[in-house]
Structures are given as structure tokens and as C-alpha cells.
Amino acid sequence: MARSRMILPAHDPACRRLFHADRLTAEGHRIALEIWLRATGREREGTRVVVFRCRRCAGFHVARKRKVPKPDVVGPPAGLSEADEPNLIMGL
């Protein structure tokens, strides 16, 4: 049977994280956790809360992850000169 071959999400105490059987409930937990951390002032600079699929239990967990800094994001792109700006405004 196809059903028996599927890896079904099951709670595993070894994960030591809150278990979610599907991504949607995990996302709900993530959003609630973000709001809670912000409200209680425990939000840490350079980190974010992410949902990830666990290889051990096949379920979803919510964890804090360090943001990977992107050096390219700082400042405007090299190709964007002042001459390009009027076109951008007209494009709006």
C-alpha cells in the first residue's frame, strides 16, 4: 500500500522542540512567537524565527536562526545611477 511507504510526521521526544504535523500550524506558531518575542523585548538583533522540516520526525519545528548578512543589500545597486532615477519615478 502506498500509505505504508509514506513517512508520516510523528512526535519524537528526542527533537526537544514543539512538534507540528503540518507547515500551516507551524507558521501560526512562528508568527505568534515573533509577536511574543517582540512584545516581551526578547527579540534579538540579527536573528529571526523560522519554520523548518525535521529529518528526524518528519514534522515541522520552529527555531531561531541567525540572519545571514547580505553585503549586496547595503546601499543602492552599483548599476543604479542618478540618471536612471527619473525613469523609475515615471514607472510608478
Within 31-90, which residues bind Zn ion (CB under 5 A)? 54, 56-57
Q: At 79, is the secondary structure helix, strand, or coil? A: coil
- 43 vs 63, beta carbon nearer Zn ion: 63
Name, in order, each residue with C-beta under 8 angstroms of 64's C-beta and a sequence gap of 6 or more: 44, 47, 48, 49, 50
- 33 vs 54, beta carbon nearer Zn ion: 54
Residue 58 C-beta: closest distance to Zn ion, Å: 8
- 19 vs 43, beta carbon nearer Zn ion: 19
Q: Across-strand partners of 66?
A: 47
